[in-house]
Amino acid sequence: MKFKGNIKECLQLTTVEKQNCHVLKEKLERSLTILWFESGTNELLIDDKEHTFVKNQVVFLTEFHRVEVKSIEKIRFLRFNRPFYCILDQDSEVGCKGILFYGASQLPIIQIPEEELEKFETLWKMFTIEMESDDSLQTDMLQTMLKRYLILCTRLYKAQANYPEERINSDIVREFNFLVEEHFKTKHTVAEYADLLNKSPKTISNIFAMMGSIPPLQYIQERKVLEARRLLRHTDMQIQEVAYDIGYDNIQAFSRFFKKQEGISPSQFKENR
C-alpha cells in the first residue's frame, strides 16, 4: 500500500516476504525505513555486514543503507519520505534528527517486548485501515500514526540502548551526527563541525566522552569509510572517483586512509566484491 500526496509526500506500508523482497532494494529519495521482523529468522546484508534478525526485532534505515537479502520470512515494512513527515530543521527525538536515524556507525535495533506488542499490533492495524481511506483528513491521520509509531520505537530504543537522559548533551551529539551525515564529504575535522555548533572542538570531544560515545573524529572517519565501501562495492566508480567523491584530491591519501580503517587497500576491496 502506498500513499502519495500533492507535494511529493510518500508513505509505503506493506508486508515483505520472499516473493516481493525486491521492495527492500527499491530507492526513494530522502526516505527513512523501518523494518519490523514479524516471524522467523531473517538474514540481511546491510552495507556488506551480515545481520540476523529474529521475531519482533525492529531496525531503522536511511536512504543510504544498501540492503541485500540472504533469507527472510515475513517483515512489516514502513517507508516514508521527508516531505511526508520529517522536517529537516525539526529538533525532536522523533523527527529527522531523531535518535533512530542517521547513526551511520551503528545500526539502531530494538526488540519489542511481549508487554508492548499489543500496542504495536494495534497501531499497525490502524495504519492499514487508514491507508484505504480517501478523504481530506487522511494525510493528518497517517502523519499522526507515524509519529505515534516513532514515539513507541524511540521509547524502547532509549530504554534498551541505555540512551542517556542528559538532554542538552545528547542533543549536541545527535546534532553532530546529523551534521556529519550532511557534510562528511566536505568537512573532515572535528573543528569544522564544532564551528557549525558554535562550540570548541575540546567541548565536543568532552561531551562525546561524557556520553560514552565513540570519539567525534572516529565518527567522521567511520562515516567516510562507510561511504567508500558502498561506492566501491555497489557502483562502477573508479578508485580515484570514489576518493574525490568523499573529499580526497589525492588517491594515495585516500588509499592510506582506507587501508588503515579496513585493513586492505581499496583495490583489494573492489576486487573482492
Question: Which residue segment(s) compose the domain that 53 sits in?
Answer: 2-160
Q: Provide mean pLDDT across the span 73-86.
A: 88
Task: Name the band, by pLDDT with cuts 50, 70 and 90, for residue 169.
Answer: low
Same-domain status, 86 and 172: no
SS3 labels along 233-271: HHCCCCHHHHHHHCCCCCHHHHHHHHHHHHCCCHHHHHH
More confident residue, 188 or 272: 188
Same-domain status, 177 and 241: yes
Q: Provide mean pLDDT across the span 130-155.
A: 88
More confident residue, 155 or 30: 155
Number of structural domains found in the chain: 2
Same-domain status, 137 and 179: no
Q: Provide mean pLDDT across the span 242-254.
A: 92
User: Is the model's pLDDT at 84 over the cut of 80?
Assistant: yes
Indicate the average pLDDT of the chain. Answer: 85
Out of 54-58, 168-172, 265-269, least confident range: 168-172
Same-domain status, 192 and 213: yes
Task: Name the band, by pLDDT with cuts 50, 70 and 90, for residue 167.
Answer: low
Task: Name the band, by pLDDT with cuts 50, 70 and 90, for residue 106.
Answer: low
What is the biggest distance separating any 2 CA atoms in the chain, rounded to whole angstroms?
58
Same-domain status, 140 and 212: no
The answer to whether the CB of 212 falls within 8 A of the CB of 252 is no
| pLDDT, tens digit (0-9, with 9 covering 90-100), for 180-239 | 888 999 999 999 999 999 999 999 999 888 877 789 999 899 889 888 988 888 788 999
Are β-strands 109-111 and 67-71 bridged in parallel, bridged antiparallel, or unpaired? Answer: unpaired
pTM for the model? 0.73
Same-domain status, 152 and 212: no
Task: Name the band, by pLDDT with cuts 50, 70 and 90, for residue 136.
Answer: confident
| pLDDT, tens digit (0-9, with 9 covering 90-100), for 39-55 | 888 999 888 788 999 99
Q: Which of 141, 160, 179 is the last residue of a domain?
A: 160
Same-domain status, 209 and 240: yes
**pLDDT score for 88:** 46
Task: Name the band, by pLDDT with cuts 50, 70 and 90, for residue 273.
Answer: low
**Residue 123 phi, psi (nearest 5):** -65, -40
Same-domain status, 184 and 249: yes
Same-domain status, 150 and 203: no
Task: Name the band, by pLDDT with cuts 50, 70 and 90, for residue 89.
Answer: very low
Same-domain status, 145 and 172: no
Same-domain status, 173 and 128: no
Same-domain status, 188 and 101: no
What is the rounded radius of gyration, in angstroms, for the C-alpha atoms of the chain?
Answer: 20
